[in-house]
Amino acid sequence: MHRLSFVEEKILHIQGSPVKVQKKMINSLRLRLIPPHGEIRLSVPHWYSDRKAEQFVLSRWGWIEEQKRTIRAIHPLARQRYEEAEDILFRGQLYTLRIIQSAKRTGIRIGGDEIHLSEPSGASRSDRQKRMELWYRKEMKKQIDPVILGWAAEMKVEPSEWRIKKMNTRWGSCNTRAGRIWLNLELITMKPEILEYVIVHELAHLIEPSHNRNFKAVLDSHLPEWRRLSRELKGEMDL
């Protein structure tokens, strides 16, 4: 008997939002929101009707709205305007940016649920962005150094160095020959356990360069929750 192996795609408009429905040779449903814009994508078995797909999406709409807010915040650095009263995501917490004009004191500090940025009068948005991103880098370095050193010791690997940079398509990368790890600056906006997962993922490549079974076994042995964290990072939902 011929077995269906193709993927059928269509767009359903639900609650005013386009939902890409992909019919595949699968037995369960998979709902995902794709960064950076929060595209809604649902994979269903070939026999699943459009009506059932729509009902399922509607039943998860609260989760979808929550994930959309999260995904919009996950990539804030490219869209951040650094204006007064703007929402700033830092280490998984939402803060309000307060800009303080000061002739004597400049700097950035957290006060309650606010980030206070003191700057001289006449500072441009570009200047503000550079200062904020420099602050992100310093704060991220303080966060990652003990995490990398602790996990490297536990996993018995020796990264030669680790650096931070802005990346458009990756959360991290590992040059296994040089032992060098790069981490996306965007990770400073996420809760610490997500950053920790990405660090462990990259360190695991110093044991196994590819994403094969051995690599997954390394993650299983050191960070059993890695699958949940990976799905959360990708904006996927457990069904």
> Quick check: helix, strand or coil at residue 33?
strand
Per-residue pLDDT, 33: 80
pLDDT tens readout for residues 193-202: 999 999 999 9
| Positions in the chain whose pLDDT score sits under 50 | 1-4, 238-239
Residues near 223 by beta carbon (within 8 Å), at least 6 away in sequence:
196, 197, 200, 229
Q: Which class is domain 135-237?
A: alpha beta
Give residue limits of the domains in the chain.
8-74, 135-237
Looking at residue 83, the DSSP 8-state letter turns out to be -
Q: b/e string for 145-184 if b means 16 or more Cβ within 10 A?
A: eebbeebbeebebebeebebeeeeeebbebeeeeeebbbb
Q: b/e string for 199-214 if b means 16 or more Cβ within 10 A?
A: bbbbbbbbbbeeeeee
Of the CA atoms within 13 Å of residue 71, those in its CB half-sphere come to 20
Which helix (DSSP H) or strand (DSSP E) does residue 147 occupy? helix 125-155
- Between CA 191 and CA 200, with CA 195 as vertex, the angle to 5 degrees is 145
pLDDT tens readout for residues 203-225: 999 999 999 999 999 999 999 99
Per-residue pLDDT, 239: 47
